[in-house]
Structure 1
Amino acid sequence: MKLITLPLTNENVTLTAYLLEQSHEMPNTRIRPAILIFPGGSYRGCSDREAEPVAMAFLAEGYQAFVLRYSLNQNAAFPQPLNDAEEALELIREHSQQWGVDPSKVAVCGFSAGGHLASALGTMGRNRPNAMILGYPQILASDSKIFPVELPGINTAVDAATPPAFIFHTFEDTLVPVNNTLALASALEQSKVPFELHIFGHGVHGLSLATPVTSGGLRSMVDGDAAKWFGLCAAWLKKVFGEFASDQDILLDENISEYGIDVQMGVLLKNSACEKLIYGALPMLEHNPQLQDAVQVSIRQINEFGGGMLSQEVMEKLDRDLKGIPLV
């Protein structure tokens, strides 16, 4: 995994990228959907509990993940935080090829005040995300007195261009009452924007993943039912963005810059010159029925599995000879 933190235009604003690296063993994941996470914190801070742990959870699902630490306190006056979010989204799409991101599959995920910012980006942004994930979001302008500055309401900004949303909240939330989520759901329904809504009966505000690891040691921050939001969200995202392709009998990564002993056997054997070199060094493979099961692994791996049939010197020479064959 690569970890990159970039300063953005506004003061003390950063975008942190958590990037899964490409692997020739998983060519179907070369381009991944992405999640841009906005932690909560009443626009006075950005909660660590709603930042990296959430990124890690989405990484485990195969997404590239990003965390935005946006403008706070007196700098939180709109549109400054929205500008931060717009800049972060544009940066992800501009670097999509470098970062292994599908620019048409970027979701925002925001909690509480971060949910306000995520939904603002989805309704007011000059460039909008492709989906929204909103946890106990602050939506109503009338409830924004907990913030250091006056902020716009989101429910009145929903339009037909607003992306589909996954929303979860708890009935017991007293800091950001559930009527915020209900107002947003009503606005989405009126604009015919698809959404999935889960209101859990129990749980305080700020649950994050609602698991012990994000609890900060507080019993109140753990709730087994509310914790189901993440699995429900992951299933919803697969409906919106689709699943990674898994419909091939054999997956060969032919996006290579040169031949060599670390390239899959199935790719090498498509080239007659490579085939000749391989069978010359490993004649036992030519008529071996097990070769059919080894086309997705490299010569290096085959040599290791075989207990070092070829010496290091022979392997190095074979690698040089293979690299000397032009790609076709």
Structure 2
Amino acid sequence: MEAKKYNLEVSNHDFTVKSYWLDQVEDFNQTVDYPIVVICPGGGFTFHSAREEEPVALRFNSFGMHAVVLEYKLIDQETVYPTALQELAKTIDWINKQPASRHIDKKRIILAGFSAGGNLVATYNGIGTDEKLRQKYQIDHLTGEHAGIILGYPAIDLTVKGSFPNDDKVLHEISNDPTFWKAQDLLNKNSKPAFVWQTRTDELVNVINSLTYVEKMTQLGLEAEYHMFGSGIHGLVFGTYVTQKPGKDKYLNAWTSKWIELALNWLQMMKLLG
């Protein structure tokens, strides 16, 4: 496996992606093109959670997938959107233009997002699959498309009271454009299949977020698998010692840790892996 950082640029904004490229397995006696996952970590649009970066990338590597972590735009002097959306589109374009020697199955690009990163992925699953919106937000010139998404405790509807961001100031720092406030409303018949999981007791992002998204996908006849676990805090990642904050047992949750194996099964069922 080769780990490498790249600096990319879109709309006069520089951003970083971290790649985890799989090596070929000599015992196979033939080359294999691997699926690839683009990981968008959470952090409330104020930082990128390292707990949702390399540990997640390496786990997907173990499934036989290349992995890329996108360090998308955060809150600063300019709003997060549409720049973050453009960065994700550029990352997919960059993957699509990788040489054949990288052995990427470019028809099986998966987007995985957690919390705020889940908002980005869920939003892209709508705008990125809508020709008119791609043109409106200036990503229509970028190539490649994703095949499915994985969402972990995603922020979907930014207007839900008592849920992230629960602050009009922060909401407008994320975007002044109401188009970006409700990711569920962006879904369309061309949106890609989704695997979604969250805990019922999530104290930061109300579980109505993921329920609303999956409900809209169901209404549109889109493929979706949803798991609502009965208990657990926000930001569990794996719920194991691998992503546990030192000394904080609340980040351990053996039951919710099963989501990653469920996601593996879903990827295989959707013929996006294996």
Identity %: 30
Greater Cα radius of gyration, structure 1 or 2: 1
Match of 2:71 in 1: 69
Match of 1:20 in 2: 22
Match of 1:5 in 2: 5
Q: Which runs of 4+ in 1 moved over 6 A?
A: none
Counterpart residue identity of residue 185, structure 1: V
Match of 1:207 in 2: 236
* Corresponding residue SS for 2:20: strand
**1:83 is matched with which residue: 82, 86, 100?**
86
* Corresponding residue SS for 1:82: helix
| Cα gap change, 1:29 to 1:187, in 2 (>3 Å) | farther
Report if the CA contact (8 A) 1:210-1:223 is conserved: yes
Deviation, 1:6, is: 0.7
Deviation, 1:209, is: 1.2
1:220 aligns with 2:255: no
Report if the CA contact (8 A) 2:109-2:145 is conserved: no
Deviation, 1:90, is: 1.0
Match of 1:139 in 2: 156
1:28-107 mapped onto 2 (5 Å cutoff): 30-74=32-76, 75-95=78-98, 97-107=100-110
- The CA RMSD measured in Å over matched residues stands at 1.6
Residues in 2 aligned to 1:179 and 1:29: alpha-carbon distance in whole angstroms: 44
| Cα gap change, 1:192 to 1:7, in 2 (>3 Å) | same
Match of 1:149 in 2: 174
Deviation, 1:4, is: 1.6
Report if the CA contact (8 A) 1:110-1:135 is conserved: yes
**5+ residue gaps in structure 1?**
245-328
Q: Deviations over 1:49-77 (max 9, x none)?
A: 00100001000111001100010013443
| Cα gap change, 1:243 to 1:46, in 2 (>3 Å) | closer
Report if the CA contact (8 A) 1:170-1:178 is conserved: yes
Report if the CA contact (8 A) 2:192-2:222 is conserved: yes
Report if the CA contact (8 A) 1:18-1:55 is conserved: yes
Counterpart residue identity of residue 53, structure 2: A
Report if the CA contact (8 A) 2:35-2:272 is conserved: no
* Corresponding residue SS for 1:13: strand
Residues in 2 aligned to 1:220 and 1:202: alpha-carbon distance in whole angstroms: 11
**5+ residue gaps in structure 2?**
129-133, 135-143
Match of 2:194 in 1: 165
Report if the CA contact (8 A) 1:43-1:76 is conserved: no
Q: Deviations over 1:292-313 (max 9, x none)?
A: xxxxxxxxxxxxxxxxxxxxxx
How many equivalent residue pairs?
244
Report if the CA contact (8 A) 1:5-1:14 is conserved: yes
Residues in 1 aligned to 2:67 and 2:223: alpha-carbon distance in whole angstroms: 24
Q: Deviations over 1:217-257 (max 9, x none)?
A: 2211110011000000001001113553xxxxxxxxxxxxx
Residues in 2 aligned to 1:179 and 1:51: alpha-carbon distance in whole angstroms: 25
Deviates more, 1:68-77 or 1:174-183: 68-77
Report if the CA contact (8 A) 2:35-2:273 is conserved: no
Residues in 1 aligned to 2:261 and 2:127: alpha-carbon distance in whole angstroms: 28
Deviation, 1:27, is: 4.5
The structure showing larger relative contact order (alpha-carbon pairs under 8 Å, at least 6 residues apart) is: 2
Deviation, 1:210, is: 1.2
Which one has a larger percent helix, Structure 1 or Structure 2? 1
**2:211 is matched with which residue: 159, 182, 188?**
182
Match of 1:109 in 2: 112
TM-score w.r.t. length of structure 1? 0.71
Counterpart residue identity of residue 36, structure 2: A
Match of 2:126 in 1: 123
Residues in 2 aligned to 1:124 and 1:233: alpha-carbon distance in whole angstroms: 24
| Cα gap change, 1:80 to 1:212, in 2 (>3 Å) | same
Q: Deviations over 1:171-220 (max 9, x none)?
A: 00020000000110111011111100000001000111111110122211
Residues in 2 aligned to 1:141 and 1:191: alpha-carbon distance in whole angstroms: 21
Match of 1:296 in 2: none
TM-score w.r.t. length of structure 2? 0.84
Report if the CA contact (8 A) 1:33-1:241 is conserved: no
